Structure 1
Amino acid sequence: MLLDALNGLHDQTDLVFACLSSLDNLRLTAAFFDTGVSRHLRHMHDHERAVFHSLSSGVVDYNRRRRNDAGERDMQTTIDTSQRLRQGWLNADLSDRPVVIHSEISVTQNQTLALQSTLWRELMYMIHHNIHHLAYIKLLLDQQGIDLPASLGRAPATATHCRQLEATVSSEGVSANNSFE
């Protein structure tokens, strides 16, 4: 189940890459770099790497970030990172186990909290976190006139709501409303 969710997350990210890859260099620069899409993708990879590294270390360190890394300047590097992470999950032991979380909790001083969690909890958090950032990416690209599927960045519970709404509307013969709640 979690592997399916991880693959679905990467499928959505691949849609972004496919869309961006179809742009000419000038539009790609504006869409990938100037809007901040590259920083959102790097941030998503930071969270994914943090959870992935816990498979061997037992620690999810959300403080480890790769700000200003090569992926923020080169889309192929970002695509390669995403593909390596996807492949890593395919070969990973995703059995639930305890993990320790490290995360800073203050914006005014250096305070890191360490707490207990589980791998499944952190995978679920990371998936939802990254879907949230895909929604930001969709909005940023929409502002550039770049269309992505309406489902991109949609929360799983919202997708279920929309499917239920569509089923109700279909049975009633009324047009569906794709509102988000």
Structure 2
Amino acid sequence: MPCHPSRPIPSPEGLIEENLLTLAQLRNLVDDLAPNAYRQAFGAHGRHTLGKHVRHIIDHYDALLDGLERGEPAIDYEQRRRDEALEQWPQEAASHLAGIEARLSSLGSATSSDALILGYPMDDEALSLASSLARELAFLTSHSIHHMAIIALLAEQLGIGLPESFGVHPSTLRHWQRESVEQAPLSRRSA
């Protein structure tokens, strides 16, 4: 449903919930991993590990939440911490993810129309793009799911079983649910 200027902007609770569900799914995987599996290198250059993708996701949440907590309207995802401990030690990453979940939960009273500026560096200049909390929460869900889909492929190579819903965007899960209901026999739907 498109947003119309005449309609009130929705509160971010639904977007926060999507992020919380995504992060809980990731934290559950990470919390159970052995460090050697978390650090296992993949790819021709060995640049891909479960841990690097998890740390990358964490960095993006930290960039948004740190800016909000400082009261800064500018968000810059390029200025990330890149804490190597978070890509080396799964239990440390799981703990950090739990902290992000708590921080996100405390945003419940924020309004999604709060104006934010997204800093986007280009070659010799930085763009300042108008954004909002709702827009950035939607971005973080999609960004996280994208990396979780890669994590799922890497985990599969390690023989780690994951739920079918891992790394699947909430909109796709809703679509699957609607399809399931539509394909159910009429007698089951009316029961």
TM interval, short-chain normalised? 0.7 to 0.9
Q: Is the 8 A contact 2:19 2:140 kept in 1?
A: no
Amino acid aligned to 1:17: V
TM-score by length of 1: 0.81
CA separation in 2, counterparts of 1:59 and 1:48? 14
Aligned to 2:176: 162
Asked if 1:153 is matched to 2:170, the reply is no
Deviations 1:9-67 (A, max 9, x none): 122112212442xx5xxxx41x2112411010111011111111232211111111233
Asked if 1:38 is matched to 2:56, the reply is no
4+ runs deviating over 6 angstroms: none
Amino acid aligned to 1:33: R
Aligned to 2:3: none
CA separation in 1, counterparts of 2:81 and 2:100? 15
Aligned to 1:142: 156
Deviations 1:95-154 (A, max 9, x none): 12000111234xxx4543221111110111011111111111111101111110010110
Structure 1: runs of 5 or more not aligned: 174-181
CA separation in 1, counterparts of 2:18 and 2:110? 12
Match among 141, 155, 159 for residue 127 of structure 1: 141
CA separation in 2, counterparts of 1:69 and 1:117? 29
CA separation in 1, counterparts of 2:18 and 2:163? 18
Q: Is the 8 A contact 1:131 1:155 kept in 2?
A: yes
Residues paired across the two proteins, number: 163
Match among 64, 81, 103 for residue 66 of structure 1: 81
Deviation (angstroms), 1:94: 2.7
Q: Is the 8 A contact 1:42 1:66 kept in 2?
A: no
TM-score by length of 2: 0.77
Amino acid aligned to 1:6: N
Q: Is the 8 A contact 1:54 1:99 kept in 2?
A: no
Aligned to 2:4: none
Match among 86, 92, 110 for residue 94 of structure 1: 110
Deviations 1:140-173 (A, max 9, x none): 1011111100101101221122112222332279
CA separation in 1, counterparts of 2:152 and 2:124? 33
Amino acid aligned to 2:64: V
CA separation in 2, counterparts of 1:139 and 1:145? 10
Q: Calculate the aligned-residue CA RMSD, in Å.
A: 2.0
Q: Is the 8 A contact 1:59 1:102 kept in 2?
A: yes
Percent of aligned pairs with the same amino acid: 27
